[in-house]
Structure 1
Amino acid sequence: MSKPHQIRTALDELLDGLVEGDPFPPERELATRFGVARETLRQALHELLVEGRIERRGRGTVVAKSKLVQPLSLSSYTEGALRMGRKPGRILVTWDDVPATAELADALDVTEGVAVMRLERILLADGQRIGLESTHLPSHRFGTFRKTFDPTTSLYAAIRATGVTFGSAVERIETVLAAPREAGLLESTTAMPMLRLHRRSLDTDGTPIEVVHALYRGDRVAFEARLT
């Protein structure tokens, strides 16, 4: 067994004896305990950070919360968080109207250049920043949200309250690195792997509801699909 693999196995066993929020031994102490070079140890610790098993807190490191598992289904982020016993939350970043590009106009079935509503929010779970979501909505369907919708609450619940029923969606997920602005909003770094989600949702009549581009921290969120 190689030295890096031995160290990783030892760290995994150490984590098995700890619970969420417990302090994780500092790098110097671990290097001495296992008799390895600091560089070898740093690589193993970086892997644990990326996997979301430990997290930096101030000058120290603690055992991280388990990842928020989001179902790949026509349910909202709120529903996924509540299902895992986590408290959902949102921070509004921008809420404006933007001219529809050719691609967006085609996806929302509107005229190119017409104004569409864009809602950008930071997604929280138990106060932790886990995602950055940008949703485009056709203004002719949901323009009244300007007066009625609280952006710190569930958008899907508000859409359903208008009588619209979600019928289907096409969703794509890919691994990316965050741009500096995105990393800053998510309190992360540009080196941390992210999960980029693209979704186009339709109602039961086949009329477009939304186009969503969301970025999730790979160390805090995982996606799950149920296959039958």
Structure 2
Amino acid sequence: MSAPQRLSKPYLVRTGIDEILAELAEGDAVPSERELAVRFAVSRETVRQALHELLVEGRIERRGRGTVVAQPKLVQPLSLRSYTEGAAERGRVPGRMLVTWDDVTASSELAEALAIGDGEAVIHLERVLLADGKRIGLESTYLPRRRFAGLAESFDPSTSLYAAIRAAGVTFGTAVERIETVLPTPREAALLETTTAMPMLSLNRRTVDSAGTPIELVRALFRGDRVAFEATLT
């Protein structure tokens, strides 16, 4: 019989911290690096690595100079529903903070995606997405201005854009969405109150109406430590 495999110190530390977290509630303080290093008889660097993994996974979060057990991730459905609907369904309070709302000139790539002419005016709406007051995402939406010019007078950017579009008589048809992992720029990290070392989920979506006419082009970044996505496959 072969000798049992010896478990590495990083594995034992991570397992030990997992057991500690299992006994704590949301918002409870996590023992400091120094305390954990003494408890597991390892270097603080080994503890720091384990805590960083838990931070990226969204199990813990920084609060002031300490670390606490984080709120569970917001799980958003991948669908043509608004962010407001998805967050509210999960018992969270959705919100938005306006960053940019202006007109830009369509590049050839943007014009092709929105089926408009090169150089046409496009509405650019950039907002920070909130859940229970916490910043979870940064969403940039591009809309053809000649179709949605009325939003300038009627739309409150702290509310659901999809609800406003539906209220204008537009019926959503289909969307193609691509999701990948990226690192944020310094500006994006600052807006989401995180660091450039924290992985983000990048969503790129092009949506068309029931007649196949493009409605929007969206690029959104979500904090991977605070949001997860799910899809129902049939």
- TM-score of the alignment, normalized to the shorter chain, above 0.5: yes
* 1:170 aligned partner: 176
Counterparts of 1:77 and 1:27, CA distance in 2: 37
Deviation beyond 6 Å, 4+ runs, structure 1 = none
1:94 pairs with 2:93 = no
The Cα offsets for residues 44-100 of structure 1, whole Å up to 9 and x where unpaired, read as 000000001000000111100111111111111111111110000000001000001
1:14 pairs with 2:20 = yes
Counterparts of 2:227 and 2:68, CA distance in 1: 18
Please identify, of 19-28 and 170-179, the stretch whose mean Cα deviation from structure 2 is larger. 19-28
Counterparts of 2:47 and 2:138, CA distance in 1: 32
* 1:137 aligned partner: 143
SS at match of 1:91: strand
1:57 to 51, 63, 69: 63
Native 8 Å contact 2:92 2:132 kept in 1: yes
* 1:69 aligned partner: 75
SS at match of 2:203: strand
Note the residue ranges of structure 1 that are not aligned, 5 or more in a row.
none
SS at match of 1:173: strand
SS at match of 1:188: coil
Counterparts of 1:143 and 1:16, CA distance in 2: 52
* Cα shift at 1:18: 1.1
* 1:120 aligned partner: 126
* 2:195 aligned partner: 189
1:32 to 33, 38, 41: 38
1:203 pairs with 2:212 = no
1:42 to 35, 43, 48: 48
Percent of aligned positions that are identical: 72
* 2:4 aligned partner: none
1:79 to 64, 85, 90: 85
* Cα shift at 1:220: 0.5
The Cα offsets for residues 112-131 of structure 1, whole Å up to 9 and x where unpaired, read as 11110000000000010000
Native 8 Å contact 2:121 2:146 kept in 1: no
The Cα offsets for residues 16-35 of structure 1, whole Å up to 9 and x where unpaired, read as 11111111111111111111
Counterparts of 2:62 and 2:25, CA distance in 1: 15
SS at match of 1:23: coil
- What do you get for the CA RMSD once the two structures are aligned? 0.6
Note the residue ranges of structure 2 that are not aligned, 5 or more in a row.
1-6
* Cα shift at 1:137: 0.5
* Cα shift at 1:221: 0.7
The Cα offsets for residues 141-197 of structure 1, whole Å up to 9 and x where unpaired, read as 111110000000000010111111111000000100000000000000000000110
Counterparts of 1:24 and 1:143, CA distance in 2: 50
Counterparts of 1:167 and 1:108, CA distance in 2: 14
Native 8 Å contact 2:75 2:229 kept in 1: yes
